[in-house]
């Protein structure tokens, strides 16, 4: 099982709640007190990585996770990001300024 730290935003309030996210058998899960959330990896929508900015995962219930753990984010093997964002990421990381 793989795990990483993230901030959870419920999509209703602007307050971040720190959570420990775990991955097991194609599912991402975390707990908020007594509430336990589980999502299939295939249902998640990652935002394209932009430089050293926090990595963002949009959840199907309108919430989102943000993490500074780039290695954990990259290892999730989430559904592909749209072509526009992949191109933007490539240009940002491969063109000399």
Q: Give residue-wise pLDDT tens across range 8-48.
A: 999 999 999 999 999 888 899 999 989 899 999 888 888 87
| Domain total in the chain | 1
Residue 70 belongs to what domain range?
2-94
pLDDT at 56 over 60: yes
What is the distance between the alpha carbons of residues 92 and 40, in angstroms, rounded to a whole number? 30
Cα 35 off chain centre by = 19
CA distance 75 to 41: 12
d(CA 64, CA 27): 15
Supply the DSSP string of 28-47, one letter for each residue: EEEEETTEEEEEEGGG-EEP
Q: Of 46-50, 57-61, 74-78, which gets the smallest average pLDDT? A: 74-78
CATH number at residue 66: 2.30.29.30
């Amino acid at each position: 099982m793989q795990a990483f730290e993230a901030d959870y935003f419920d999509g209703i309030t602007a307050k971040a709640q720190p959570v420990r996210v775990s991955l097991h058998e194609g599912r991402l899960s975390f707990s908020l007190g007594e509430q336990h959330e589980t999502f299939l990896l295939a249902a998640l929508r990652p935002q394209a990585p932009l430089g050293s900015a926090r990595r963002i995962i949009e959840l199907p219930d309108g919430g989102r996770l943000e993490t500074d753990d780039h290695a954990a984010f990259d290892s999730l093997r989430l559904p592909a990001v749209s072509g526009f964002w992949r191109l933007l990421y490539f240009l940002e990381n491969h063109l000399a300024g």
